[in-house]
Amino acid sequence: QVQLVESGGGLVKPGGSLRLSCAASGIAFTDYYMNWIRQTPGKGLEWVSYISGSGETIYYADSVKGRFTISRDNAKKSLYLQMNSLRAEDTAVYYCARGSSGGSWYGYWGQGTLVTVSS
């Protein structure tokens, strides 16, 4: 069955960096767009970024553009999010989620990893 497992979250100071990973199993990884979506109590669900199966097409939310970088390693069936210049407002649970073949709805989500940005 499809499984997505995030890792790499933790406590980081403002201005710091963190790299999140998402390991996928049970899917033809290269066939699907992969996404990062975050959730905070105050702002609810916020889409962060997505990357096509080949890695050639990438989009970011304006709130993270220029600070976050999404990437994937298809051989390792892994998705990554490099987060630099972190701010308090980046504090959230970060989920990786698989897009569907017909559009960007999300049938599969990981359990999430908590990122806390605080001094």
Partner 1 sequence: DIVMTQSPDSLTVSLGERATINCKSSQSVLYSPNNKYSSLAWYQQKPGQPPKLLIYWASTRESGVPDRFSGSGSGTDFTLTISSLQAEDVAVYYCQQYSRIPITFGQGTRVEIK
d(CA 22, CA 76): 10
Compute how many residues bind partner 1; rule: CB under 8 A. 22
CB 107, min distance to partner 1, A: 5
* C-beta of residue 31 within 8 angstroms of C-beta of residue 53: yes
Distances (CA, A) of 9 to 39, 75, 102: 13, 23, 30
Q: Is residue 9 a contact residue for partner 1 (CB under 8 A)? A: no
Per the DSSP assignment, residues forming a β-bridge with 70 are: 81
Report residue 57 as tokens: 């097409």
CB 38, min distance to partner 1, A: 11
Closer residue to partner 1 (CB): 34 or 97: 97
Q: Is residue 1 a contact residue for partner 1 (CB under 8 A)? A: no
Q: Which listed range, 13-21, 23-31, 46-54, 67-75, lies at the site for partner 1 (CB under 8 A)?
A: 46-54
Report residue 52 as tokens: 């096509």
Which residues contact partner 1 by CB under 8 A? 35, 44-47, 50, 59, 61-62, 95, 97, 100, 102-107, 109-112
